[in-house]
Amino acid sequence: MDWEALGLSLSLGGWTIAFLLPIGILAGRWLAWTKFKGKEAVEALLALPLVLPPTVLGYYLLVSMGARSPLGQAIEAVFGQGLVFTFEGLVVASVLVNLPFAIQPMQRAFEAIPREVREAGACSGLSPWRMLLEIELPLAWPGILTAMVLSFTHTLGEFGVVLMVGGNIPGETKTVAVAIYDRVQAFDSEAAANMAALLLALSFVTIGISYVLGNRRSPS
């Protein structure tokens, strides 16, 4: 059992949803309530990670964040180090890959809030900030929770992008999913089986929790 890899995976999942929570709320609300030209294009772009092979995504991230790209050079100039083959780079990649898992459930949740209820909030004198905290988030929270659980679980299992962007550096970019592959390659099937079972159990429990909470909310 590679505990370091497990810790890294959980940490990556935690950082990913920490970034995705505000991003998802803002983007989900925006897409739920705003009509604009080219909205379908934006939605399609955000949904791309669902269908694109992780290696393709990983390749583009590698190229765009690499030391030879303008973006990579700018990052290196500001932070003193690049993103490729680092934990920070993994977080950036993971956030991008998980955008559809975070935004789509939140968008549906915000869409489900009746327009009149939001208008009633405005007519009751609630400021946009109070509207968000007292009306929108309490009504949309099952969707937000689903989004967080999906993103977290998906991050634990992400393999292709991690390998492309992060490589396989123990303690830095070697997550559980990569470690399993690593162990299989080394014919250490016992360690691979243990980690696979753990990942399976962890994913089942987190997804299960989201269903239990979702069902408890749905009758209202």
Interface positions with other proteins (CB under 8 A): 114, 116-117, 119-127, 130, 134-135, 138-139, 220
Query: Helices (DSSP H) in the chain: which residue ranges?
Result: 3-33, 39-51, 54-65, 70-79, 87-97, 99-111, 115-123, 128-130, 137-157, 160-166, 176-185, 189-217
CB of 116 to other proteins, least distance (A): 4
- Please state, in angstroms and rounded to a whole number, the distance separating the CA atoms of residues 28 and 215: 22
In a 3-state reduction of DSSP, which class is residue 120? helix
Amino acid (one-letter) located at 123 = C
CB of 189 to other proteins, least distance (A): 51
CB of 113 to other proteins, least distance (A): 9
Output 119 or 190, the one with its CB closest to other proteins: 119
Output 28 or 121, the one with its CB closest to other proteins: 121
Q: Are 140 and 106 in contact (CB under 8 A)?
A: yes
Output 109 or 150, the one with its CB closest to other proteins: 109
CB of 32 to other proteins, least distance (A): 17
Q: Is residue 78 packed enough to be buried (19+ CB in 10 Å), middle (13-18) or exposed (0-12)?
A: exposed
